[in-house]
Structure 1
Amino acid sequence: MAAEQTGKTSEAYPMKGGDGVRSYANNSSYQREVIDSAKWLITEAIAEKLDVDNFVSSYTYRIADLGCSVGPNTFFAVQNIIEALQFKHQRQGLHSQLPEFQVFFNDHILNDFNTLFSSLPPNREYYAAGVPGSFHSRLFPNASLHFVFSSYSIHWLSKVPKPVVDKSSPAWNKGRIHYPNSNDEVVKAYQAQYTEDMECFLHARAKEVVCGGLVALIIPGRPNGMHHSQSPTTGVLESCLMDMARKGIISEEKVDSFNLPVYLMSPQELEAAVDRNGYFSIERIITELGAVPATQSQKISSNFRAAFEGVIMAHFGYEILDELFDSFGKKFEVEFMTKPMSGSSSIFFALLKRKATN
């Protein structure tokens, strides 16, 4: 039977590939720290929430990392999951039935899979496969996955909301590149796109995850009740782009037509999306897994370039990148010497379990 077609299209702006100085592989240490801090949550989730007796007959656990990028963070996350599964089997006396593991590394088709697979751990305990495509659509056969992991990924929207780049729309986001400090119509447009994308994400996973399987998410978001205007990082980038427009390096029209396809959801918004979907139960939400510390401004600046260079280059071209991010780094440091970033955004962990019937 042919794979399900959802008709969902998604824009692709992968992280900076390769292994150079500015690559995502060498500028994602903060993301690694958060993955490490979530290790005990993964171990506990598998120990308490995954009923391995239901899966013993399959002998093979299938694990997917959605939005894996180029490593090495994905390899640490996968190893944590596998160690937890092995420990679970041993603790239940299933030594003679230790399963094999198949790991699917997923990202957009433009992701640097060459770097990813050339840096695979040589002594890994799993069979590796790459799965190109957007996680807003179906990627795997029905009931084929036992554990899904995604970190620093699902805050990316499938596309920029159309109304924010439409001059005739009340949501036209002139002079802005994101929804913080924009009018309510812009915020509503982003919320609508997020709602649509999460519906597609959860619908696809509901088809792909076995009953009783787990989905673990590490999500850059905002605390419940925090206003959308409190997202200063994108404000610094916006200011740098407008400075370049005033200097005539880029046109104001070019800035007006640029918006970041990112939405910082709150835990309550995730809960509402899961409730609407109906196929998963929320087993756990940890709302303070991490917060961005102001003392690490330079590291965050480098990480920001590795993550957003692709989407910026696609719109403005390669030529402006060095000057833009040099300005960004300087402004960022000054901004957060006087206005600490801690508390303005947060990282939270969510564990979902596929319901047995629905």
Structure 2
Amino acid sequence: MDGPSNGHPMVGGEGPHSYSRNSSGQRIVIDMALKLIQEAVDEHLEIKAFSSSGAFLITDLGCSAGPNTFYAVSSILQAVEQKCQSLGLESQILEFQIFFSDHVGNDFNTLFRSLPPDRRYYAAGVPGSFYGRLFPKSCLHFVHSSFALHWLSGVPKEVQDKSSPAWNKGRIFYPNAHKEVIEAYAAKFAEDMGVFLCARAQEVVLGGLMVLTFITRPDGIAHSQAFVTRCLDLLESCLVDMVKKGTISEEKMDEFNLPMYYASPREMKESVERNGRFSIKKMVELVESAEAYPPPTGKMMASTWRAPLEGILKEQMQFGEEMLDELFNSFTRKYEESSIVEFVRESSITFVLLEWSTAD
């Protein structure tokens, strides 16, 4: 998952607060997208145009430390192999190269220690932000990214400027803030998506595919009503309580903002159309998870949020383990006392299939 220059990677290792042990929700989404990935390869991947290269190059942007990334790329690889077999091209694509990419601070050690021993691909790590070039021109055949594009390249400058009408005093996020704050976050998302798409347009081969799955705020739903943003409202209230108790200073709270934005499908579509280098082949809202799985408990939600946010809290708020425990224990209690689970349907996951079809 991405953020500013060095980023705020997920908690590494395999401990109780690690991303690898607290990303089952992300795995569910990958499961939901498998059929769509298969269909994307079957219907849109011109495999014959790539077979002469001898190798098929795939990248997972925002790979974290596993295990979801292995599951995702293995599914893509299997879909490509099946298409080759259906066309009688088994001998044409001999090798697969998978590039696992995330920020330089990502726990690549755990990632590569966890590589499946029976993998049918060559593996490489590519450190760096996906808000910029990561690969040589026209080399990638398939780009995958899941649960990463809600991370911005950084916090909008205006929300941290005391002289700006978008100064987000006393808050860590935008949903219930002044409209100027929301507008600043929306503009930052649009800017970042433009950079992301321009970079990928240079790296993906003509006819190459890109699959993006990301948390969205359904079209027509207010930012403040989305389930994910309500969760972060609870976290914000826990930090406010810590300010009142004197555990953290008001000034430090004022300086802290999360570099995340939950766009609507319409905003994503507008970004792609504005960029003009990719064509949208499919955009599907994945909503089954809200019905097929029981609502998460407070403890589960606290662990789910601690895995991605612990790093930024340690860096910018200087939180140690004791303060982190206090914060997320408080979050657990507030979540269980709230009616927030009623709004789980107000957030969704959107699957977007893009094909690179226009020269830069």
Per-residue CA deviation, residues 169-217 of structure 1 (Å, 9 max, x unaligned), is 1001011110011000000110111111001000000000001000000
Q: Is contact 1:294–1:342 with CA below 8 Å preserved after alignment?
A: no
SS in 2 for 1:275: helix
Q: Is contact 1:11–1:159 with CA below 8 Å preserved after alignment?
A: no
In structure 2, runs of 5+ residues without a counterpart are none
Alignment pair present for 1:236 and 2:239: no
Q: Is contact 2:215–2:350 with CA below 8 Å preserved after alignment?
A: yes
Higher helix proportion:
2
CA distance in 2, matches of 1:210, 1:282: 16
- The aligned amino acid for 2:149 is I
Shift of 1:10: 2.9
- The aligned amino acid for 2:328 is F
SS in 2 for 1:286: strand
SS in 2 for 1:262: coil
RMSD: 1.5
Q: Is contact 1:22–1:306 with CA below 8 Å preserved after alignment?
A: yes
Per-residue CA deviation, residues 52-108 of structure 1 (Å, 9 max, x unaligned), is 010010010000000000000000001100000000000111123243100000000
CA distance in 2, matches of 1:345, 1:330: 22
Matched pairs, number: 350
- Of 53, 69, 75, 1:74 maps to 69
Q: Check 1:280–1:23 CA distance in 2 against 1; reply closer, same or farther (3 A cut).
A: same
- The aligned amino acid for 1:52 is I
Shift of 1:356: 5.0
**Residue in structure 1 matched with residue 348 of structure 2 by the alignment:** 346
CA distance in 2, matches of 1:290, 1:202: 28
Shift of 1:303: 1.0
CA distance in 2, matches of 1:60, 1:137: 24
5 Å-filtered alignment, 1:245-256, equals 245-256=243-254
Q: Check 1:249–1:294 CA distance in 2 against 1; reply closer, same or farther (3 A cut).
A: farther
Alignment pair present for 1:295 and 2:295: yes
Per-residue CA deviation, residues 293-343 of structure 1 (Å, 9 max, x unaligned), is 77213322211110111111111123211100111111112223x651322
Q: Check 1:252–1:351 CA distance in 2 against 1; reply closer, same or farther (3 A cut).
A: same
**Residue in structure 2 matched with residue 150 of structure 1 by the alignment:** 145
- Of 188, 195, 201, 1:200 maps to 195
Q: Is contact 2:206–2:357 with CA below 8 Å preserved after alignment?
A: yes
**Residue in structure 2 matched with residue 281 of structure 1 by the alignment:** 279
In structure 1, runs of 5+ residues without a counterpart are 1-7
Q: Is contact 1:294–1:341 with CA below 8 Å preserved after alignment?
A: no
- Of 322, 327, 332, 1:329 maps to 332
- Tell me the TM-score normalised to structure 1 length: 0.95
CA distance in 1, matches of 2:88, 2:8: 45
Alignment pair present for 1:87 and 2:77: no
CA distance in 1, matches of 2:294, 2:188: 30
Shift of 1:124: 0.3
**Residue in structure 2 matched with residue 304 of structure 1 by the alignment:** 305
Q: Is contact 2:32–2:286 with CA below 8 Å preserved after alignment?
A: no
CA distance in 1, matches of 2:304, 2:119: 27
5 Å-filtered alignment, 1:106-121, equals 106-121=101-116
- The aligned amino acid for 2:272 is V
CA distance in 1, matches of 2:46, 2:358: 12
SS in 2 for 1:55: helix
Shift of 1:357: 4.2
Q: Give the percent of matched residue pairs that are identical in Structure 1 and Structure 2.
A: 53
**Residue in structure 2 matched with residue 3 of structure 1 by the alignment:** none
5 Å-filtered alignment, 1:145-184, equals 145-184=140-179
CA distance in 1, matches of 2:359, 2:246: 60
5 Å-filtered alignment, 1:42-57, equals 42-57=37-52
- The aligned amino acid for 2:335 is F
Alignment pair present for 1:355 and 2:324: no
- The aligned amino acid for 1:352 is L
- The aligned amino acid for 1:318 is F
SS in 2 for 1:195: helix
22-31 or 291-300: bigger deviation: 291-300
74-83 or 325-334: bigger deviation: 325-334
5 Å-filtered alignment, 1:18-29, equals 18-29=13-24
CA distance in 2, matches of 1:160, 1:326: 26
SS in 1 for 2:285: strand
- Of 255, 262, 265, 1:264 maps to 262
- Of 86, 96, 101, 1:101 maps to 96
Q: Is contact 1:10–1:136 with CA below 8 Å preserved after alignment?
A: no
Alignment pair present for 1:211 and 2:209: no
CA distance in 1, matches of 2:294, 2:218: 17
**Residue in structure 2 matched with residue 222 of structure 1 by the alignment:** 217
**Residue in structure 1 matched with residue 8 of structure 2 by the alignment:** 13
- Tell me the TM-score normalised to structure 2 length: 0.94
Q: Check 1:296–1:198 CA distance in 2 against 1; reply closer, same or farther (3 A cut).
A: same
Q: Check 1:289–1:150 CA distance in 2 against 1; reply closer, same or farther (3 A cut).
A: farther
